[in-house]
Structure 1
Amino acid sequence: MPKKDQGLGPSAETPLPGDDTVVCGVVRHLGGDYLLAKCMDGVDRKVRIPGKLRKRVWINEGDIILVGLWDFSPDKGEVVYKYGRNEINKLIEKGFLSKEFINALSEYL
């Protein structure tokens, strides 16, 4: 039997940051499916890669991701989405991401 489509492929609409999500850049892998991410609001967060993304999406240092914040611990979160190159350009055009942030992120690497 074929596997069900999980809907993790490219979609027509790019998810944008909201009240409980923030755009971050991956600084380094911490091991055990955890990352250290520098976020647009100036906070460094320990971010977990959930099981549905763990083996389907490869997340490397320098990637731009969307992080869902935890209610009980605002300095931690969970990866919601990994942005591609075209989607990063759309975020810059819409004002959700700045080129200065991307340049500052490259200094951490």
Structure 2
Amino acid sequence: MADDFEEDFKDDFEPEDEKPKLQEGEEVIRVRMPKGKEVLGIVEQLLGLRKMYVRCLDGKTRLCRVPGRLRRSMWVRQGDVVIIEPWEYEEDRGDIIFDYRKSQVDWLRRKGMLKDLEEF
């Protein structure tokens, strides 16, 4: 009788729709997308002192910098895909707030988010 109770109890609390299992070699990729006034861009030229020229998706080339709070944790190289937050009072400048990894860039290309940047 105790066995019947345990079986009934287990059936009531099992998840009905389980998450699909990942196949071998597959991984879940979480990609941060630009929000609000943020723009995607590609680093064109490193200028030194954590400043660089970035070609943005909106067609502008901006002089951008890595903010102090991110200097130790973010290393940006030429050709990296980044998220830029343009300054409110000077549209030709901005802050780099996120640097994409290679797997994230591949995901963005598959979804068609970087086609505009590769054209010009």
Secondary structure at the aligned position of 1:52 is classed as helix
Code of the residue aligned with 1:69 in structure 2: it is P
Are 1:40 and 2:57 counterparts? yes
Query: Unpaired segments of 5 or more residues in structure 1?
Result: 1-11, 105-109
User: What percentage of residue pairs aligned between the two structures are identical?
Assistant: 27
Query: Unpaired segments of 5 or more residues in structure 2?
Result: 1-28
The higher-RCO structure (CA 8 Å, 6+ apart) is 1
- For residues 73 and 20 of structure 1, the distance between their equivalents in structure 2, rounded to whole angstroms, comes to 13
TM-score by length of 1: 0.74
Partner of 2:80: 63
CA displacement 1:80-102 (0-9 Å, x = unmatched): 1000111112222333211x634
What is the aligned-residue RMSD (CA, Å)? 1.8
Partner of 1:27: 44
Partner of 1:101: 117
TM-aligned CA deviation for residue 103 of structure 1: 6.8
Code of the residue aligned with 2:80 in structure 1: it is D
Whichever of the two has the greater Rg, that structure is: 2
